Structure 1
């Protein structure tokens, strides 16, 4: 066998690239759909994940002690996984929405 037989024939290297076929288009569309499904599953996985008080404190921007005291004082919703308190994504959204302070309707308007 000579060295010339190791690579592809010269004729194939000089050809123009073939236009995208229906099969190629279908493969690209399938790849996009798989990526979208993977992103959806990531969101669903976060919805089902339980956060430790330390993880929840990082999300809230508070200390772990604040979260633990709020759980023991029953000021925020939580669930037990075994004997450990945990917060779900719904609990975290509840804390964020119930901490919202809306402007008072009796407040003086800003100077114009």
Structure 2
């Protein structure tokens, strides 16, 4: 590193460049302010459509797994919802295998 590397740039940015930089900075600050906090995510109940990308599955897989009792879930009305704890459990444990002593499902 030389002394010239530490010198300020000789060109001064024009007003248009400064305005564009400020606009980009303001947009970035707004995105950060709008992002949910960790506490909000802990309290949120995710729909199957919202949880699917987090688990790498399809929404249909999540609904069927809830109906079959393979994954933990809660309901809001009649709709299955997954909390952050449920998603962590699914990631940690994967699918539960059906009980081999359970009554078979009629086809």
Return the TM-score normalized by structure 2.
0.53
Unmatched 5+ stretches in structure 2: 1-32, 96-107
Say whether 1:42 aligns with 2:37: yes
Structure 2 residue aligned with 1:65: 60
Structure 2 residue aligned with 1:99: 94
Name the structure, 1 or 2, with higher relative contact order (CA <8 Å, separation 6+).
2
Structure 2 residue aligned with 1:84: 79
Unmatched 5+ stretches in structure 1: 1-37, 101-112
Q: Please give the alpha-carbon distance, in whole angstroms, between the structure 2 residues aligned to 1:84 and 1:60.
A: 18
| Deviation digits for residues 57-78 of structure 1 (CA, Å, limit 9, x no counterpart) | 1111111111111000000000
Larger Rg: 1
Q: What is the root-mean-square deviation of aligned Cα atoms in Å?
A: 1.9
Q: Please give the alpha-carbon distance, in whole angstroms, between the structure 2 residues aligned to 1:72 and 1:60.
A: 17
Return the TM-score normalized by structure 1.
0.51
| Deviation digits for residues 16-69 of structure 1 (CA, Å, limit 9, x no counterpart) | xxxxxxxxxxxxxxxxxxxxxx8xx81111000000011111111111111111
- The structural deviation recorded for 1:83 is 1.6
Q: Which runs of 4+ in 1 moved over 6 A?
A: none
3-state SS of 2:37 partner: helix
Equivalent pairs counted in the alignment come to 61
